[in-house]
Amino acid sequence: MEFKKNDMVTLYIEDMGHDGEGIGKAEGYTLFVKDTVIGDKVEAKIMKTKKNYGYARLMKVLEPSKDRVEPRCPDARACGGCQLQFLSYEKQLEFKKNKVKGNLERIGGFENICIEQVIGMETPWRYRNKAQFPVGKNKDGEIITGFYAGRTHSIIPNTDCLLGAEVNQKILEAVLTYMKENQVEPYEETSGTGLVRHILIRCGFKTGELMVCLVINGDALPKADRLVDRLKDIPGMTSVTFNINKKKNNVILGDKVVGLWGQNYISDFIGEVEYRISPLSFYQVNPVQTEKLYGKALEYAGLTGQETVWDLYCGIGTISLFLAQKAKQVYGVEIVPAAIEDAKQNAERNGIKNAEFYVGKAEDVLPRKYEEEGVSADVIVVDPPRKGCDEALLSTMLKMKPKRIVYVSCDSATLARDLKRLCAEEYGIEKVAVCDMFPQGVHVETVVLLSQLKPDDTIEIDLDLDELDATSAETKATYEEIKEYVKEKISAESV
């Protein structure tokens, strides 16, 4: 049977795709259905067809899966942020483990991958220390903020995302009130007019410090003192700024930050290390899981205090300073100059003197340092963006031959591609851990330990020719015969 748009079908959901959508078949034709989970029997409307598969919209759950849960958020279906909120948390972790394992096997070509640990959260809600809320108008012309609907730039009004800090709602309502009372217009994408584009909020989970930064399409914020008056008395408020972004694109932040009140940064801790965080800083959004993630990276690095470590894509030095507590020397590389300045100040404020930082692309800095200065590394840690590592960087890492490589990844597909390259020559996968940094969403962090394939230890075997068949000895033993003989000797000596 040939299906077409708007056809209604009944499906049993048999699997889930990488983006969290359910997968079912109607008379052998594969359909992807958002907001469904394995085990659901659903009624769905076909929205788009291709030759071998199509996309359908969930219309009704006829028989819910035993793993389906009622979403906490009333906007769960409309918002594009929580693709897995209909799935029990236990099964979310299983989904993410299988996603990583599947990519390593399918893309990387690795067999029998064993994931040693899946690190979940005890309470997988209210975990985000950063939120960026677009600002616009609804059909009645009222100023709103919230989140984009999936794959669109239509704003779903929401001031209380259940993944963010509870104080966000109070902050958002204060900003919206300021805008309405002072006729401050939101940005309009199509025309490029209006002023306020986004509201950025950051929260220090351990310090309680708060930051509010308005991203604006202009050089100044009118009647800014009135905004400050509404925000400064909120407990924990530390920083009120605006960021200038007049470019007509989808990039949220511009390069320039202007202070309105307080500091231009907040502070927070990961473990015992204190970090300074500015509006432009890259800083992991889930501090509870970040401590576990970096702890695992530190464990995999196997530091004794004698190692030279290179931390590539180091951001504001989050992993670098974690490693510096156990290493002889750490070198961090990051392309964003402001992040490197933060990294240097973070090292200074923590009294860490064995960490040095360089501005530039990792794929430029490390090859140059290696070729021109002959730098070495006992351990290399990489934490690249979703696109993974550049080939020039991978090639240099292989030339440097560190004893261990710790690869921290936010995209298991590019992770698998890069590991395939690294493991084609010098390295093998020793350990893999999965860390759930984004409960309710499909993204997942992975930490992999790669070790050199060359054996560090040797064994001595006394070869007794009398034990070999004379005819075989005279005609020279084959490789397989010698291998079997050695295996037997080792087994016998270990008994």
Catalytic positions: 410
Cα–Cα dist 244/196, whole Å = 10
The Cα 19–Cα 282 span in angstroms is 24
Cβ–Cβ under 8 Å, residues 113 and 104: yes
Q: How many helices (H) and strands (E) does the chain have?
A: 11, 22
Q: Is 53 helix (H, G, I), strand (E, B) or coil?
A: strand
Taking the mean position of all CA atoms in its chain, how far away is CA 167? Answer: 24
Q: Give helix 412-422 / helix 391-400 axis angle, nearest 10°.
A: 40
**Calpha distance 275→321 (Å, rounded):** 9
Measured between alpha carbons, how far is 483 from 52 in angstroms, rounded to an integer?
49
Tell me the one-letter amino acid at 338.
A
Query: Can you list the positions of beta strands (E) in 151-303?
Result: 155-157, 196-203, 210-216, 237-244, 256-262, 266-270, 273-277
Q: Give which of 276, 352, 277, 247 is closest to 309, Cα–Cα.
A: 352
- For residue 394, the SS3 value is helix
